[in-house]
Amino acid sequence: MIEPLRKSTREEREQWLKEAHYNVFQLRSEQVYIDLLTDSGTGAMSDRQWSQLMLGDESYAGATSFYNFEGVVKKLFNFKYVIPTHQGRAAENVLFSYLVKEGNVIPGNAHFDTTKGHIESRKAHAIDVTTDEAKNTQLEVPFKGNVSIEKLTKVLEDNKGNVPFMVLTVTNNTVGGQPVSMKNIEETCALCHKYGVPVVMDSARFAENAYFIKTRELGYADKSIKEITAEMFSHVDGMTMSAKKDGLVNMGGFIATNNEDWYQGAKLFCIPFEGYVTYGGMNGRDLNALAAGLDENTEFDMLETRIHQVAYLAKKLDEYGIPYQRPAGGHAIFVDADKVLDQVPIEEFPAQTLTCELYLEAGIRACEIGYMLADRDPETRENRFGGLDLLRLCIPRRVYTDNHMDVIAAALKNVYDRRHEITRGVAIEWEAPLMRHFRAHAPLIKKRDRMGL
């Protein structure tokens, strides 16, 4: 299906952004020309997936759609126990409700927002153990999403008996959609298992990670995506997945593991939070569509087409000299806002400022992955400014053409060309105590001087 895109005027966008409290999450979809907020649930399904919708079994318990879905998950990931949930954060909520206790330490390669939120809301601690190579956005290395074995060793050594599991995120979204190598997956899991710590793979973009292993890592060029996927998951103890990304569906997620204790414990929370264990918040028709999507998206041609479009946008930004996290990731381009808006101080959130400027320029809705998303330290309540401050241009699957990529690049170039005129950022007027970026009120600072704030 197709849908019209409505062009708007600068004056309209200024009013809409003001009404949205300068937070693009609060915009209405019809106020957006090209929507790059997320690739989560925003893709287009295939004819095979649509046909599977018609075969959905909506039985409350034991639906054939569940067993169809379960069979695909077992075949791809080789896990015995499978629990569907309505999306990835629900999978985290169900599993973490059983596993995470107050005071626990959970290391990970840059936990994403909901993952960190589910940990910190339970008064546990999420500790980032990503390789330092990820901090240099202009460094060209193939696997910037990797875990630092040295950092992980220190966390495991210093917190013996208090680490219920580690989260291994593939691809690593927070540092720019960067992949994790098979070698690093194996080394990370071996180290954790040495300390008796199981590993949970945050698998939202596992297929894209497998693609990069095939195309970048020695010894995998002749292996299929499905073979690489099986090897990746052979090292870990379980997985949570937002199926709205590499599952190619608009809603869905799941937990899978070979750990029977985890399975029995997660079921205790699935039923009151999500629904019965054979539907877990999903319709039977959506379980069918997800089964087809997982099968489709573990084929090389599908992934190559999708990832090449992201690379095409990266090439356009290269032509304009716009800095981004290099090399280009699988699902998005992450523009280095600190380098683009280098006159905006970090306490005025350069990436959030750039997000607003891009929308005002051309009605393009992107997403801040930086200081706003990083939230406050749960103990000191100070802003966390230690990581990267990125503008994510997230490309929905099978939705836009390369012509849309040209428009995106041109709009960003227009903002980039006047970057020296942008010397002020945004000021947070209101924020939620957890995962503030979704609802924060953060107006642009215009002509007020800094002493007047």
Catalytic choice (112, 143, 212, 359) = 112
Catalytic choice (128, 437, 440, 442) = 437
Q: Is residue 165 part of a domain?
A: yes
pLDDT at 449 over 60: no
Tell me if residue 195 is catalytic.
Answer: no
Residue 171, preceding bond cis, omega within 30 degrees?
yes
Could you tell me if 227 and 285 lie in one domain? yes
Rounded mean pLDDT of 131-135?
97
Catalytic choice (60, 123, 194, 385) = 60
pLDDT at 435 over 90: no
Domain of residue 403, CATH code: 3.90.1150.10
- State the pLDDT at residue 448: 46
- C-beta atoms surrounding 202 within 10 Å: 26
d(CA 239, CA 233): 8
Could you tell me if 275 and 224 lie in one domain? yes
- Residue 453 banded pLDDT, cuts 50, 70, 90: very low
In whole angstroms, how far apart are CA 434 and each of 44, 71, 242, 346, 408? 31, 37, 20, 20, 31
Contacts of 389 (CB under 8 A, 6+ apart): 336, 337, 338, 346, 349, 350, 351, 368, 370, 371
d(CA 87, CA 241): 7
**Among 269, 296, 323, where does a domain finish?**
296
> Helix, strand or coil for residue 311?
helix
Catalytic choice (116, 244, 245, 331) = 245
Could you tell me if 276 and 364 lie in one domain? no
- Residue 450 banded pLDDT, cuts 50, 70, 90: very low
Contacts of 443 (CB under 8 A, 6+ apart): 18, 21, 22, 426, 427, 429
Q: Percent of the chain beyond pLDDT 90?
A: 93
d(CA 258, CA 277): 16
Tell me if residue 113 is catalytic.
Answer: yes
Could you tell me if 419 and 330 lie in one domain? yes
- State the pLDDT at residue 228: 98
Structure confidence by residue, pLDDT tens digits, 391-405? 999 999 999 999 999
Q: Is residue 354 part of a domain?
A: yes
Catalytic choice (90, 124, 126, 204) = 204
Pair 180, 145: CB distance under 8 Å? yes
Q: Which of 332, 434, 311 is nearest to 391 (CA)?
A: 332
d(CA 180, CA 188): 10
Range of the domain at 246: 47-296
Domain of residue 214, CATH code: 3.40.640.10
Q: Is residue 109 part of a domain?
A: yes
Q: Is residue 93 part of a domain?
A: yes
Rounded mean pLDDT of 350-362?
98
Q: Are strands 390-394 and 367-369 parallel, antiparallel or unpaired?
A: antiparallel
d(CA 315, CA 320): 9
Please give the tally of structural domains in the chain.
Answer: 2
Structure confidence by residue, pLDDT tens digits, 244-263? 999 999 999 999 999 999 99
- State the pLDDT at residue 208: 98
Q: Is residue 3 part of a domain?
A: no
Could you tell me if 159 and 213 lie in one domain? yes
**Among 296, 320, 342, where does a domain finish?**
296
Could you tell me if 270 and 133 lie in one domain? yes
Rounded mean pLDDT of 358-376?
94
Structure confidence by residue, pLDDT tens digits, 84-125? 999 999 999 999 999 999 999 999 999 998 999 999 999 999
Could you tell me if 274 and 180 lie in one domain? yes
Catalytic choice (35, 39, 202, 237) = 202
**Both structure tokens of 19:** 């009404």
The DSSP 8-state label assigned to residue 200 in this structure reads E
Q: Is residue 177 part of a domain?
A: yes
Tell me if residue 202 is catalytic.
Answer: yes
Could you tell me if 269 and 336 lie in one domain? no
Q: Is residue 5 part of a domain?
A: no
Tell me if residue 112 is catalytic.
Answer: yes
Contacts of 364 (CB under 8 A, 6+ apart): 32, 33, 34, 35, 36, 358, 407, 408, 411
Q: For residue 84, which phi and psi values (nearest 5 degrees)?
A: -75, 150
d(CA 288, CA 294): 10
> Helix, strand or coil for residue 53?
helix
Pair 92, 277: CB distance under 8 Å? no
Q: Which long-range contacts (CB under 8 A, 24 or more apart) does 413-418 make?
A: 413/320, 413/322, 414/361, 414/362, 415/340, 415/354, 415/357, 415/358, 415/361, 416/320, 416/321, 416/322, 416/340
d(CA 281, CA 275): 5
**Three-state secondary structure string covering 111-131:** CCHHHHHHHHCCCCEEEECEC
Could you tell me if 18 and 77 lie in one domain? no
- State the pLDDT at residue 3: 83
C-alpha 321, offset from chain centre: 26
Angle, nearest 10°, between helix axes 402-417 and 300-320? 30
- Residue 447 banded pLDDT, cuts 50, 70, 90: low
Could you tell me if 166 and 273 lie in one domain? yes
**Among 247, 274, 296, where does a domain finish?**
296
Catalytic choice (113, 128, 375, 389) = 113
pLDDT at 194 over 60: yes
**Both structure tokens of 452:** 């007047």
**Both structure tokens of 17:** 């952004």
Could you tell me if 315 and 290 lie in one domain? no
pLDDT at 451 over 80: no
d(CA 261, CA 124): 21
d(CA 433, CA 376): 8
Residue 327, preceding bond cis, omega within 30 degrees?
yes
- State the pLDDT at residue 8: 97
Q: Is residue 112 part of a domain?
A: yes
- State the pLDDT at residue 97: 98
Could you tell me if 344 and 285 lie in one domain? no
